[in-house]
Chain A
Amino acid sequence: MISFKPSAQQEMVKGLLHQFSATVLRPITLEVDRTKTFPDDLLLRMGQMRGAMPPGGGAASEEYTGVERKEPQKGPSSSNRFTMVASEELAWGDASLLLSLPGPGLGGPPVRFMGTPEQRERFFAPFKTGGLHWGAYGLTEPGAGSDVSAIKTSCRRDGDGWILNGRKCFITNGARADWVVIFATLDRSLGRAGHRAFVVEKGTPGFACGKIEEKMGLRASETAELVLEDCRVPHANLLGGDELYQRNEGFMGAMKTFDFSRPTVGIMAVGIARAAFETAREFVREHYLLARPLPRYALIAALLADAERKIDAARLMCWRAAWLADEGLPNAKEASMAKAYAAKIAMQVCRDAVELLGAHGLEQSLLVEKWYRDIKVFDIFEGTAQIQRVVISKRILREPPSF
């Protein structure tokens, strides 16, 4: 039945996370943005909150709770919708802290979808202790962003292992991660068929962190450069083993991650936009211009009404993509649309919020300037606005037109 009301359980967690965001994250959001450091115990606490989410109720929760299924999720679930509800609230509090949460992060989906049962057991094990452990996803390179198939990081078989060489950049939690899923190529002339995914563990000789990037926004989230120099990785860390690649599914594994990550990134943008919108609404409610409350000006009222409506529309786009994933239906186009649409409207809303506050909009303590900086990257990471439109248009030109 068509319904847009979260379940009672989802409402409960939403309320809990909202409270946490309002009382714990918001008060420190500016400080962590400046210092780029945050107390470990806070992250631990956040990790435990994620762990407290009901089992089966989170795409990622199985890795945190230790309640891992024997087989990757098949058939209907509600986990992606659950992630939508939870991530929006945490991003409303502080998106960079959400990205810094302990857990396998973007490294989770490729291990889950491509890994053998043994690999899933081994690589998810550290997260079951609830300590400070991270996973990461290493695809982007200085010369290969949107054009994923152009990666240069090389891998070659060497006895019972592999030798990896190359550089990865813009890797979220890359320096602190216990392991990183590194995508490499056997032979660039093979294109996508030559791609292999490895789990490279921290401390592996030849695997080092280059610089940590200084960014415009999301500053409390660690963005690392990773360097592989004759880095030897055991064959047991080739995700999915030889068999997976005989079926030519290496590249698909890299792409499948996006079906889950893009709606999540989209809903994070919704959370930030909502934060900016609510702040602007409260601000104009309390301020007067020419002896008249600001909301009594149609221009102001229209800006706010527009913002709220677009936020709603973006949320529904994200929910749609997540619902399709939960139903086990293909959602690559919808995931791209959710991300592209949410990032676009969130940019507009954050810009309008800054403007609605006038000169106050520049003031750091009111946070809208921070959200204005934070939101820009949502147009860029997890696939730029442009590559999303490439993905969407390729699919609509290929698929039957009716929907």
Chain B
Amino acid sequence: MISFSLSDEQEMVRETARKFAVEELRPRLRQLEKGGIPDELRRRFHELGVSLIDVPEAAGGMGLGATTAALVHEELAFGDPGAAVALWGPHLATAAVVELGSPEQVARLLAPFAAPDGALRRGAVAWSETGKDLPFAGMATRARRDGEAWILDGRKAFVIHAGDADLTIVFAQIGDGWDGVGAFAVTGRERMRAGAASRWLGLEPVRAGELILDGVRVDEADRLACDVARLRRFFARAWITTAARQVGLARAAYETALAYTQDRVAFGKPVAHFQAVSFDLAEMHMEVESARWMVWRAAAELDAAAPSAVESAAKALAHANQAAWRVADDAVQLHGGAGYIKDFPVEKWLRDTKTLALIGGSDALAQLVVAGIGFGLPESIVQPVVT
């Protein structure tokens, strides 16, 4: 049955996340931008328990699935998109283990995050690389067998929590092409080196950078299953997370612009009462809502294991990325000169939305996935399309 009803549990979780976002994150937005996330804030966030929302119950989490997680991501990003990403300790390692891991691996690898002392533990996913002429699947990092273990060599880029992560899911080529991609769970902070830190356009509280793997040894027991179907679901989970954050960011920008334009007077009345402004506000509102429903649909489909879930997630990502950029840009515009200075938060959100869009799977990739599926996708993630 088509329904937009949240369960009582979801309402409660959303309310908790919203309260935290409004009271703890929004007022410290600039402070977090400059100084990053203090440990005491991480501990307070951990106590809320919302970061364990999609950690399976077997590993001590709440097991509430992607839909409830999307509600939480939206609320946290409504408070501050940078904090929303940085505070989420396990990061996408949870999504990767949930989709690629066996029940034993899920319980073993994710339990430390759910433990009472898990507040400062971090997870990471090392997927991206830089460089030209990479092999088709896009990776130069290799994994070679050594008896009962694997040896990883290579250099990963744009890794959130690089060097700080207690659990890093490293993707590397075992063989050629997509079918040759392997996923490895590397535990501990000491076995890999952090390279140059990334300095980004936005999302300042997030620490990220290069990750260097010099013969990192991983037990066979820590190799995750990595077939294309599972990889797609992992990506879907990651895309939904980013899309939900974009919705929260867009909602923040919209509401801030709504308040500002009702307060700012020009030509004798609040500028919101000019149709040139109020029509923009109406468009912004529609963008936010449509993006939110796209996210909810994708998450609900993923939770129901519907075959369309991956495609819906790609659509949600493309839609939310575009909607959020448009809304953030309009919000800056409606503030006029005030929008460009740091006394107001909207300039930050315009930087954050582009950053989110580029670290969380680009619109272009999502569009190709949608088009590829529409035209009958072979067993690859993206059908090559000529530019």
Contact = CB atoms under 8 A, between A and B. Distances in A.
Contacts of B375: 285, 295, 301
B289 A317 contact: yes
Interface in B303-349: 304, 306, 312, 315, 318-319
Interface in B188-204: none
Contact of B367 (A306, A337, A396): A306
Most A CB contacts (10 A, CB to CB) among B255, B301, B306, B375 go to B375
A297 B385 contact: yes
A389 B384 CA distance: 41
B28 to A, nearest CB: 20
B4 interface: yes
A198 interface: no
Contacts of B282: 337, 340, 388-389, 392-393, 396
Contacts of B299: 2
Interface in B276-318: 278-279, 281-283, 285-286, 289-291, 293-294, 296-297, 299-301, 304, 306, 312, 315, 318
A386 B276 CA distance: 11
A70 interface: no
B269 to A, nearest CB: 12
A316 B368 contact: no
B315 A393 contact: no
Nearest to A341: B286
A316 B293 contact: yes
Q: Report the contact-size class of chain A (Cβ under 8 Å from the partner).
A: 35 or more
Interface in B48-71: 67
A308 B315 contact: yes
Contacts of B126: none
A389 B283 CA distance: 8
Interface string A37-79: 0000000000000000000000000000000000000000010
B258 interface: yes
A143 interface: no
A353 B172 CA distance: 41
Q: Report the contact-size class of chain B (Cβ under 8 Å from the partner).
A: 35 or more
Contacts of B255: 401-402
A305 B278 contact: no
Given A314-B290, A389-B282, A396-B281, A309 B318 contact: yes
B272 interface: yes
Nearest to A333: B285
Contacts of B319: 309-310, 313
Interface string A294-305: 011110011011
Contact of A3 (B2, B279, B281, B289): B2
B334 to A, nearest CB: 12
B2 A298 contact: no
Contacts of A392: 282, 285-286
A337 B386 contact: no
B6 interface: yes
Contacts of A317: 286, 289-290, 293
B291 to A, nearest CB: 8
Given A298-B385, A302-B371, A389-B283, 18 more contacts: A2-B4, A2-B296, A3-B300, A3-B304, A4-B301, A296-B386, A302-B367, A304-B374, A313-B290, A316-B297, A320-B293, A327-B5, A337-B286, A341-B290, A389-B278, A389-B279, A393-B272, A397-B258
30 contacts: A2-B3, A2-B5, A3-B2, A4-B297, A5-B306, A81-B2, A295-B371, A296-B384, A296-B385, A298-B386, A301-B367, A301-B372, A301-B385, A302-B364, A302-B367, A308-B370, A308-B374, A313-B290, A313-B293, A316-B290, A319-B4, A334-B289, A337-B289, A340-B282, A389-B278, A390-B275, A393-B272, A393-B281, A394-B278, A402-B255
Interface of A: 1-7, 10, 78, 81, 84, 281, 285, 292, 295-298, 301-302, 304-306, 308-310, 312-314, 316-317, 319-320, 323-324, 327, 334, 337, 340-341, 386, 388-390, 392-394, 396-397, 401-403
